[in-house]
Amino acid sequence: MNVGITCYPTYGGSGIVATELGLELAVRGHEVHFITYANPIRLDPGTPRIHYHEVEVSTYPLFQYPPYCLALASRMAEVAESYDLDILHVHYAIPHSISAMLAQQMLAPTRRLPFITTLHGTDITLVGTDRSYFPITRFSIEKSDGITSISEYLRARTVEVFGVASEIRVVQNFVNCDRYYPDDAKTEAALYAPAGEKLLIHLSNFRPVKRVLDCVRILAEVRKSVPAHLLMVGDGPDRGPAEHLARELKVDRHVSFLGKQDHVERLIRLAHVLLMPSDLESFGLVALEAMACGVVPVATRVGGVPELITDAEDGFLEAVGDIAGQAARVVTLLTDEDRHYRMRKAGRWNAAERFCTEKIIPQYEKYYQDVLNR
Residues, the chain: 374
Burial grade of 90 (CB within 10 A; 0-12, 13-18, 19 or more): buried
Smallest CA-to-CA distance from 211 within 108, 316, 281, 128 is with 281
What is the pLDDT at residue 265?
Answer: 95
What is the pLDDT at residue 70?
Answer: 93
Contact (CB, 8 A) for 192 and 256: yes
Distance (Å, whole) CA 253 – CA 82: 54
What is the pLDDT at residue 279?
Answer: 96
Instruction: Count the helices and strands in the chain (H runs, E runs).
Output: 14, 13
Distance (Å, whole) CA 344 – CA 362: 27
What is the pLDDT at residue 129?
Answer: 61
> Three-state SS string across 315-330, please?
EEEECCCCHHHHHHHH
The greatest distance separating any two alpha carbons of the chain, rounded to the nearest whole angstrom, comes to 69
233-266 in b/e burial notation, b at 16+ Cβ within 10 A?
bbbbebbeebeebbeebebeebbbbeeebeebbe
Tell me if the domain spanning 2-173+357-373 has CATH number 3.40.50.2000.
Answer: yes
3 state DSSP class of 298: strand
Tens of pLDDT, residue by residue, the chain (374 residues):
999 999 988 767 788 899 999 999 999 999 999 999 988 888 877 889 999 999 998 877 777 777 889 999 999 999 999 999 999 999 988 889 999 999 999 999 999 999 999 998 877 766 656 778 888 888 999 999 999 999 999 999 999 988 888 999 999 999 999 999 999 999 899 999 999 999 999 999 999 999 999 999 999 999 999 999 999 999 999 999 999 999 999 999 999 999 999 889 999 999 999 999 999 999 999 999 999 999 999 999 999 999 999 999 999 999 999 999 999 999 999 999 999 999 999 999 999 999 999 999 999 999 999 999 98
What is the pTM for the complete model shown? 0.93
Q: Could you count the other beta carbons within 10 Å of the beta carbon of residue 48?
A: 8
Contact (CB, 8 A) for 9 and 38: yes
How far, rounded to the nearest angstrom, does the alpha carbon of residue 193 sit from its chain's CA centroid? Answer: 28
| Equal CATH topology for 2-173+357-373 and 189-355 | yes
> What are the E-state strand segments in 178-295?
198-204, 228-234, 255-259, 273-276
Contact (CB, 8 A) for 202 and 212: yes
Give the H or E element holding residue 88: strand 87-91
- Residue-range domain boundaries for the chain: 2-173+357-373, 189-355
Ordered alpha helix ranges (H), 256-322:
264-268, 285-292, 305-308
Q: Work out the end-to-end distance of the chain between its first and last CA atoms, rounded to an integer number of angstroms.
A: 16
Task: Work out the angle at residue 233's Cα, subtended by the Cα atoms of residues 304 and 306, and round it to the nearest 5 degrees.
Answer: 15
CATH architecture of 189-355: 3-Layer(aba) Sandwich (3.40)
